[in-house]
Amino acid sequence: MNRRAGALTAVLTALVAAAVPGCSSTPPALSLTVLAAASLQPTFTELGDQFRAEHPGTSVRFDFASSSDLAAQLTQGATGDVFASADTTQMDTVAAAGLLAGRPVQFASNTLVIVTAPGNPNRIASFADLARPGLRVVVSPPPMPCGVATRRVEDATGVHLAPVSEEPDVEDVLNKVTTGEADAGVVNRTDALVAGDRVATVTFPQATDAVSSYPIAALKKSPHPELARQFVDLVVGATGQRLLSQAGFGKP
């Protein structure tokens, strides 16, 4: 074989290797997209690490936001593999649009609490105390899951609040309290735990009548339906339930 023929053979071999799938030594990475309620961020981030360890070559990308915002994104054409909501209403919205691959599974619950400045300087001891004249209270509005639950307690107790502001994000509610812009706020138990000693937490019995249930489901248009199902299984399985319990979530 002459030099020119040898060079031509080498070039052709390289072109064929590049064109034939599977010839690359590094397979393309798979990416799973999970849309999840903001309150799930610490736990799901840890579960994402676990999932990656169990599925080498697979990455997990999270989109954390309010459940109502995520449901709106999905019904307006956003794509993903898994949706985890902080209430059943937003999951029902996505289901009604025909976007779920199967029936949602309830995997956790959350309960309202009151947060105040450390030491509870205004001596708030009940939900009714939030209606005191002059007390600066912040809440989340419906359709935010926390806002829906708060409204449910108001209707059940007849105690209707007059918040100085309604914040679309629970983190903003916490921030108003921790910076002294508000005297008290209504958030979920898990949010108060994340805030730690930056707040004092007050429980109230009526919260048990407004518990938020968290459902999860694989999405019908998932590019990776088997991986989506496996992520759901991780959340509802022993590992997911242990981490959720440690984060303060209740049983489904």
Binding positions: 39, 67, 170
CA distances from 34 to 55, 103, 161 (A): 15, 17, 35
Question: Which tokens sit at 186?
Answer: 């209504």
Q: What is the C-alpha separation between 173 and 184, in angstroms, rounded? A: 9
**Taking phi first (over 0 means left), then psi (-120 to 50 degrees means alpha), and beta for anything else, what does residue 211 get?**
beta
- The answer to whether the Cα torsion of 115, 171, 248, 144 is positive or negative is positive
Feature table: binding site for molybdate? 39, 67, 170
8 A C-beta contact, residue 15 and residue 22: no
DSSP SS3 for 249:
coil
How is the beta sheet containing 82-84 ordered, strand by strand? 58-65, 30-37, 82-84, 212-218, 105-110
Give, for 149, the enclosing helix (H) or strand (E): helix 145-157
Question: Which tokens sit at 176?
Answer: 């108003």
Give, for 61, the enclosing helix (H) or strand (E): strand 58-65
Q: Please name every residue paired with 36 in a beta bridge, in sequence order, or none if there are none.
A: 64, 84
Q: Which of 161, 173, 164, 172 is nearest to 130 (CA)?
A: 161
Q: What is the C-alpha separation between 228 and 188, in angstroms, rounded? A: 27
